[in-house]
Amino acid sequence: MGSKKNMEDLKKRKMEEMGNGQILSQEQLRSLLDPLNKSQLVDLLSKLGSQYPSIAEEIKSVASADPVHRKLFVRGLAWNTTSETLCAAFQVHGELEEGAVIYDKATGKSRGYGFITYKHMESTQSALTAPSKLIDGRMAVCNLACEGLSGASTTSDLTHRKLYIGGLSPDVTSEMLLNFFVRHGEIEEGSVAYDKDSNESRGFGFVTYKTAESAKKAIDDPQKFLGERTITVKLADNHKGKPVQALVPAAVPLALPIPARYPHAGTALVGYTYPQNVASYPASSYPSPPAAPAPYPSQPQVPYAPGAVKDPLGQPPTTPMGMGGYPFYVAKQ
């Protein structure tokens, strides 16, 4: 008991010496710390924590209370991975507070990622020492949830480490794919691409190495035979730039006769229905529509006086003038 009190007195004297014999209140300390930016505060607390174990314990206690230091974001999950299998894979690092796969509300299917929250910060740090895990035949990757995707490798770095693997046999699983490529170096993540609805292989996949050197070895390796097929291995970024026009049937322009009441000619696309916005083209690329025939010349209407026209039977007209200036007649009974 006495030794503990002596230690406290010693710490108090050291603090007094540092402050020239003056002990500052919390309000005074706050006024001194308030203008400092985050980087300065982190440096200050790190320095004090390394010198005084009691301060280090206080920092650790505050940090552990915040789940931001205990929650992991796990991406690259297989479509059939459940919350139970996800938690089982991460329990090896420590006791879990919670864990779940995120599902699409509309379809009820996995969105390919989830979250794990440990009870203790030490468990989180242990999990981050081995961020890649093979779960349900697919290599998943984790990082602190507060970092989001920014915690993953930068895009410029990823372009030299991520490979596109094409020409895969339908029998090749993600585990077979990873076992085949791990000989070139440590793999960060990778899997065969599966159809969300049928869960069948789409004939290609991706492998991301820890280093660009490993990826280069995989590309340069002449042995590219997997699942009784010769496979394609190249940088995934180059695959993205491949034109895909050949995969989409081209629309064939079909000339349509345009009635004279339309102000301009156009084209329709086979398989499409109107109304549509049709691109305009120079009129010279289409034949001119035939000219409308000239109207027949109209004949002048010459009125006749009723008295100048006689009934074939010799009777004068009995009705007023009709249409066109011709009188009506009533046959004599």
65: number of CA atoms within 13 Å, CB side? 6
Q: Which of 46, 246, 50, 235 is nearest to 158 (CA)?
A: 235
- Per-residue pLDDT tens, the chain, 333 aa: give them: 555 666 666 666 655 555 555 788 888 888 989 999 999 999 998 998 899 988 888 888 888 788 888 999 999 888 889 999 999 999 999 999 999 999 999 888 899 899 999 999 999 999 998 888 889 888 888 999 988 765 555 455 788 899 999 999 999 988 899 899 999 998 888 888 888 778 889 999 999 998 999 999 999 999 899 988 999 999 988 765 544 333 333 333 334 344 444 444 444 333 433 344 434 444 444 455 555 555 555 555 555 555 444 555 555 555 455 444 455 445 544
In this structure, whether the domain defined by 156-239 belongs to CATH 3.40.50.300 is answered with no
The pLDDT, as a whole number, for residue 152 is: 54
φ/ψ of 13, rounded to 5, equals -65, -40
Q: Which of 172, 176, 246 is nearest to 203 (CA)?
A: 172
Task: Delimit the CATH 3.30.70.330 region(s) of the chain.
Answer: 67-151, 156-239
Cβ neighbours of residue 29 closer than 8 Å, sequence gap 6 or more: none
In this structure, whether the domain defined by 67-151 belongs to CATH 3.30.70.330 is answered with yes
